[in-house]
Chain A
Amino acid sequence: MNDTSQSRLSSKDLTLGYATSKILEHVDIAIPDGKITALIGANGSGKSTLLKTLGRILQPIEGTVFLDGKAIASIPSRDIARALALLPQSPISPDGLTVRQLCRFGRHPHKGMLARITRHDEEIVEHAIAATGLTDLTERPLDRLSGGQRQRAWIAMALAQQTPILLLDEPTTYLDIAHQLEVLELLRELNRKQGRTIVMVVHDLNHAAQYADHIVAVANGGIHAAGRPTDLLRPALIKIVFGVDAMVIPHPIDGTPLCLPFASGQ
């Protein structure tokens, strides 16, 4: 593996999809601990399916996902929920929840069947809300938040879950540029300051280049390549993964690869 010294979350020989149509085959992936990993790939390539399988939302047809060396299917769901949290692309919440009430659900895996929220839980919830910059909106219902604020509220719930690993399915979809950067900066901060392992499906190649330490390119029914953004993001790879021609230049501000796709006809 590339720069993966340690990996709590990995898979061996995964086959994903439906009995009749397989989406991905022979997937071996190791998520580097303490790093930001971006899954990239064309629409329908299976990157989101892969993320959901790593987060045991979907079961693989064949193969195994490993968490701390154990097959994830053999670990009780509540135990997994203390190690990893998955934020879906368009999460649905119960009606009328406030930010605080949403985040309290994040404490569920740490509590008994019918245990109540304790002072300790409440402190963790408030900490999670503060970390996402929502303290002033703690008592506001989710449906009265902007798209970016709502996404941060969901991230706060995942933080209250206190999992070392955080999986996010396209966390910036439906957000405008300012809010996209806001969410990505927040994720980077959580990674750098708290050392959380982050795995996210990203649509925008340049976001992946700027924010990820490790990129996994999904194409043609499998993992096409994996590695550091500077090593990986080359015109040839973009052509194979997305089917477009592109120029790659160093980003004028931070030197990360900047991909400039163009239509072949021009």
Chain B
Amino acid sequence: MNVDVMSRTTNRIDLRALTTGLIALGLILVIAVLAMTIGAVTLSIGQVLDGLAGGKSAFIVTQYRVPRVAISILAGGSFGVAGVFLQGALRNPLASPDVVGITKCAGLGAFLAGILTPPAWAIWAVPSGVFAGAMIGALILLTVGRSFGGGIAALALVGVALGLFAQALMQYVMVLFPTRADQAMIWLAGSVYGSTGTKVVALAIWLALCLPLVIVASMKLDAGGFADDTLISLGISPGLLRGGLIIVSVLLTAGAVASVGSMGFLGLLAPHAARLMVGARARHLVPVSALLGALTLSAADLVGRIIALPNEIPAGIVAAVIGGPYLIFLLIKEAGRHE
């Protein structure tokens, strides 16, 4: 009887996670198809397929629309997973790479790299700046946090302060170089505009390299929910566990920021929505959060492209505009269920 109860409970939860995942995946595909057909030139699905195969619309499809869709999915998924790991590491549902300053440090690094190097170098200088910024930010976060005892509150507060500092520095640099400010603003809001095949390949390779770390981090994520005293009692080093989760989160964030700019909000939204839908266990939370991140960013980009034709609204802004109220809706629904 006991086994029966067990399998029923487990099955029900698995089924819900599976359904949620499949629905999200289906929606991502629908949006991907729409995103390839809609635009300045409207194509039929047949024309898109033809273009993919190298036909008449090949240029617009493979050079412009496919990279954009692919980048949205990859970067959105990365933000989603990065957020899950960071929230798990800091045991705080309000943490995200944005809130603890990582995306801002990455942005500062990119901006400085863009200004201090000749424009011709930008293709590698800006991503390098992103990684340098994100890593230096994470290093400061972990070292300063550690000197305050390495507790969760210390890490979170240091992160917030770090983010404010990076933002202030960036604004100062923008005042010094007003001619570059526009470009920086768009980049800071986050945009998928101008995605190229090279960018897709670069991000895909980066994420493939991160994948083993992501798998290990996912297996260790649940343990992050214990307080440090229990972790020590179990023979797990809290510093290693939380530091490791933060590092993996930073690696994913850096890859995503280098491709689409700062969209830290996704790292907050996707894990939250995923947790409310499929619960807090890592095996469900990580994949669903990745799917929801990908879904949100691709939907936001599609909306941003068509809502104000012929102009475009950066996907980061649309994601925040759609995502904010949606998150509030989910929280209200969740609160209602507890009453």
Are A and B physically bound partners? yes
Cβ of A88 and Cβ of B229 under 8 Å apart?
A: yes
Chain A positions 48-94 with a Cβ under 8 Å from a chain B Cβ: 52, 55-57, 76-82, 84-88, 91-94
CB closest chain-B residue, reference A82: B235
Separation in Å of the A131 CB from the closest CB of chain B?
16
Residues of A within 8 A of B235 (CB): 76-82, 108-109
| Docked-complex contact B223 and A105, CB < 8 angstroms | yes
Min CB–CB distance B301 → chain A (angstroms):
32
In the complex, B44 has a CB within 8 A of chain A:
no
B280 touches A86 (CB 8 A): no
> Nearest chain-B residue to A100 (Cβ)?
B6
Q: Do the beta carbons of B281 and A77 come within 8 Å of each other?
A: no
- Whether B219 contacts A114 by the Cβ 8 Å rule is yes
Q: Are B224 and A94 in contact, CB atoms less than 8 angstroms apart?
A: yes
A138-B6, A139-B5, A139-B9 are known contacts. Are A94 and B225 too (CB-CB below 8 A)? yes
A88–B2 CB distance below 8 A: no
Q: Is the interface of B mostly helix, strand, loop or mixed?
A: helix
Are the C-beta atoms of A57 and B5 separated by less than 8 Å? no
Chain A interface bracket (under 10, 10 to 19, 20 to 34, 35 or more): 35 or more
Within 8 A of A (CB), among B283-317: none
Question: In whole angstroms, what is the CA distance A7 to B127 when docked?
Answer: 59
Asked if A250 lies at the interface with its beta carbon under 8 angstroms from chain B, I say: no
**Contact between B2 and A135, CB atoms less than 8 A apart:** yes
Q: Complex Cα distance A93/B222, Å?
A: 9
In the complex with contacts A92-B227, A94-B225, A94-B280, A86-B9 CB distance below 8 A: no
> Chain B contacts of A151 at CB under 8 A?
none
Selected contact of B233 from candidates A86, A95, A135, A138, CB within 8 Å: A86
Cα distance, A76 to B216, chains bound together (Å): 21
Contact partner of A55 among B6, B233, B237, B279, CB < 8 A? B233
Complex Cα–Cα for A135 and B225 (A): 24
Q: Does B234 contact A (CB under 8 A)?
A: yes
Chain A minimum-CB-distance residue to B10 = A139
Flag whether B226 is at the interface (Cβ < 8 A): yes
Q: Is B236 among interface residues, defined by CB-CB distance under 8 A?
A: yes
Interface string of B260-289 (1 = CB under 8 A from A): 000000000000000100011100000000
Q: At the interface, yes or no: A96 with Cβ under 8 Å from chain B?
A: yes
Per-residue 0/1 for B60-84: is the Cβ within 8 Å of any A Cβ (1 yes, 0 no)? 0000000000000000000000000
Question: In the assembly, what is the distance between CA of A88 and CA of B226, in Å?
Answer: 11
Contact between chains at A94 and B226 (CB < 8 Å): yes
1/0 contact trace for A18-39 toward B, CB 8 Å?
A: 0000000000000000000000
Partner of A106, one of B5, B6, B10, B234: B234
Docked pose: A106 CA to B91 CA in angstroms: 20
Asked if A94 and B233 make an inter-chain contact with CB atoms under 8 angstroms apart, the answer reads: no
Which residues of A sit under 8 angstroms from B227, Cβ to Cβ?
88, 91-92
Query: A81 — which chain B residues lie within 8 A by C-beta?
Result: 233-235
Bound Cα distance from A82 to B229, whole angstroms: 16
B281 and A105 contact, CB distance less than 8 A: no
User: Does chain B have a CB within 8 A of A132?
Assistant: no
Q: How far is the CB of A120 from chain B (nearest CB, A)?
A: 17
In the bound complex, residues from chain B placing their C-beta under 8 Å from that of A114 are 216, 219
Closest to A163 in B: B233
B202-252 contacts to A, CB under 8 A, are 216, 219, 222-230, 232-237
Check A197 for interface membership: any CB of B closer than 8 A: no
* B226:A93 contact, CB within 8 angstroms: yes
Pairwise interchain contact A77-B237, C-beta atoms closer than 8 A: yes
Question: Could you tell me the distance between the alpha carbons of A78 and B275 in the complex, rounded to whole angstroms?
Answer: 31
Residues of B within 8 A of A100 (CB): 6
Given contacts A94-B223, A105-B223, A161-B234, contact A52 B6 (CB under 8 A): no
Complexed CA–CA distance, A101 and B91 (Å): 18
B280 touches A105 (CB 8 A): no
Q: Is the CB of B232 within 8 A of A93?
A: no
A88 to B227, CA, bound (A): 9
Q: Which residues in B have their C-beta under 8 angstroms from that of A106?
A: 234
Q: How far is the CA of A52 from the CA of B229 in the complex (A)?
A: 9
**Min CB gap B33→A, angstroms:** 35
Write the chain B residue with the least CB distance to A140: B9
Within 8 A of A (CB), among B176-214: none
Residues of B within 8 A of A135 (CB): 2
* Given A95-B280, A138-B6, A105-B234 contact (CB < 8 Å): yes
Closest to B222 in A: A94
Please report the C-alpha to C-alpha distance between residue A57 and residue B226 in the assembled complex, in whole angstroms: 14
A55 surroundings in chain B (CB, below 8 A): 232-233
Known contacts A94-B223, A94-B225, A109 near B234 by CB under 8 Å: yes
Residues of B within 8 A of A79 (CB): 235
**A95: chain B residues within 8 A (beta carbon):** 225, 275, 279-280
Residues of A contacting B232 with CB < 8 Å? 55-57, 77, 86
Contacts of A108 in B (CB 8 A): 223, 234-236
* Bound complex: CA A78 to CA B10 (Å): 30
Closest Cβ neighbor of B237 among chain A residues? A77
Q: Are A57 and B222 in contact (CB under 8 A)?
A: no
The 5 A-B pairs at the shortest CB distance, nearest first, are namely: A94-B225, A81-B235, A78-B235, A95-B280, A92-B227
29 inter-chain pairs at a CB distance below 8 angstroms, sorted by A residue, are A77-B232, A77-B237, A78-B235, A79-B235, A80-B235, A82-B235, A85-B233, A91-B226, A91-B229, A91-B230, A92-B91, A92-B227, A93-B226, A93-B230, A94-B280, A95-B275, A95-B279, A96-B281, A97-B225, A98-B9, A105-B226, A108-B235, A108-B236, A109-B235, A114-B216, A139-B5, A139-B6, A139-B9, A158-B233
